[in-house]
Amino acid sequence: MAAAEFWYEFASIYSYPAAMRVAALAAARGVALVWRPFLLGPIFAAQGWRDSPFNLYPNKGRYMWRDLERICAAAGLPFRRPEPFPQNSLFAARVALALEGESRAEFSRKVYAAEFGEGLSIADRGRIAGLVAELGLDPQAVLSRAGNDALKAQLRAECARAAGIGIFGAPSLVTEDGELFWGDDRLEQGLDWAAKG
């Protein structure tokens, strides 16, 4: 079965519609997806950015919010800007990495729905625990796993791997033959490529 990696960052706005769409798009093409949460912070910092580019470049930022409104309206997704933006995504990323397979995908969609569908804080540990509970899992066990040193090291390794692949933004799709597709608007093209093998 063809496969592809879906790299996403919880603070990234374009990762929101992508996360909500990607599973159905992959299934329709017979592509197995690996969900890979990571952090853009270290990658942005390496190129001198200490904030989201949407905050650093106001005209681009204004455009992006409007673009997202249009994209979400067309996709039938609720959209509400969280404050502050960007949200601190470290804790949610650790919890996502502490989950596997379909639980990770489902948890990730729940995080995005809360953050950009309802405009809620994802740095709130109680809220994250509640989303884990909605999966029918034990929040205490998952959050404990998310907080241990091995998992922290694993997330750092994922970020290093993303940088090594040449990932510079989110969402990014990586195919088995090493092609990189950046952005919600490249999902179909990337999955078509993955399906062709």
Q: Which residues bind its own copies (CB under 8 A)?
A: 47, 57, 59-60, 62-63, 66-67, 70, 166-169, 179-182, 185-186, 189
Minimum CB distance to its own copies smaller for 53 or for 147: 53
| Comparison of 47 and 101: residue with beta carbon closer to its own copies | 47
| Closest separation in Å from C-beta 185 to its own copies | 5
Q: Do residues 91 and 125 make contact, with C-beta atoms less than 8 angstroms apart?
A: yes
- Pick between residue 55 and residue 121 the one whose CB is nearest to its own copies: 55
Output the smallest distance, CB 42 to its own copies, in A: 13
Comparing CB distances to its own copies, the nearer of 57 and 85 is 57
CB of 41 to its own copies, least distance (A): 15
